[in-house]
Structure 1
Amino acid sequence: MTTPRQRYRDQVRTEIKAAALVQIRAGGVAALSLNAIAKQLGVSGPALYKYYGSKDDLLTELIIEGYDSAALHIAEAASAVREQTPRARLHALAGAYRAWAVENPHRFELLAGTPSPTYQAPPETVDHARDVFSSFLPVIGAGRDWPAGAALIAQMRATDSPGAAEWAALHAPDADPALVLAGQVLLWSRLHGVVSLEVQGAFTGMGHDPATLLTMEMDSFADALGLP
């Protein structure tokens, strides 16, 4: 059980994060101001720093919560289609990724871009970032062949990325971890590319539905890996 003091502290932190997201939604990360939040909440600037030591600390918590929100949304989609073919699951998960981003453009931009020129994401954000794609790994692991990706697979096999191989093996235990990781890099570049352009408004006025482009990209990816 938490104490009244801890519950009050948690409530204030929640209010700070809510106010921060309103600022980011209105003007991007550059609009984030701890002093403005303090004024809105009726406390002094120094008092606010009792809850977050710096703007970067606040950004880190917002980023982690953004990753967790996206990961949960995609995991729920994965659960709903777990009996379908890998290709069908891929389309469902990609659609869930896109839907979350379109519905939360300010949070997506927080995850997709550089929050500030001096911000350095701490190591603890890595696992949360990976969780966004955890539901995709079993789909990638179902690939039958990927000769065109041999060079990328070889690079991933030779790269010492802390925890990456274990992450791949956990979610796709019957597949080559290097193939899964290489496939994830390719998937991320295609999926993130289309969705980022849509969120930025790059497709406005071009006369096509971004969902159609995403479907084409996912079919191309599925063909490359031989997904049934």
Structure 2
Amino acid sequence: MRNYLFLLVFVLIGGSIAAQEVAMSASEISAFKQKVIATAKSTNSIKADFVQFKHLDFLANDVQTSGKMVFKAPNLVKWEYTNPYQYSVIFKEDKLLINDGGTKSKVDIGNSNLFKKLNELIVNSVKGNMFNDADFRVSFYKVSKHYKAVFVPKDKKIANYIASFELLFNKDDAQVHEVKMIEPSKDFTRIIFSNRVLNSKVNDSVFSN
């Protein structure tokens, strides 16, 4: 079975665009944060397709996977990988539910403050609302059609696994377009979301293993 820590790193992740970045002004940051927070508060559920790229220095090409993500307030998240393999991860009530091609397992993360924090990051990155997190220093930029927020961890335990965490937001609707996590080794993972549907009905049965 895949290593649990690697799994957390694997699902957390996702994206930046090779374009010129311009730092946002204080007034722009304030308006942007208010819009994102308002959107997050009004979001009860999210369904989206995603493509994930895992970059490892020793590989010539990034490892590409794809699937579907489902979020239900306040903190249920399911990542279902459908290509090139069948694999799902559910974060539910301090539990990590894994289905690896039919092989099911459960991991209790409630006793680990670090893993609980990583779980919170997953939920908040999906919603886009991480700005009140005291564990990070945050910088804001304008990038082409997006706003970019870069989170650098203050907590040394988190910094052992995450060098920086980046979110790209669409300028028009303040929705998260891409997520990127850069590891201390400089390897990184990008997740690009598409076909996002907000506030549709999501049954609790979706989050069963």
Higher helix share: 1
Q: TM over 0.5, yes or no?
A: no
Which of structures 1 and 2 has the larger relative contact order (alpha carbons within 8 angstroms, sep 6+)?
A: 2
What TM-score do the two structures reach when normalised by structure 1?
Answer: 0.24
Q: Determine which structure has more spread, i.e. the larger CA radius of gyration.
A: 1
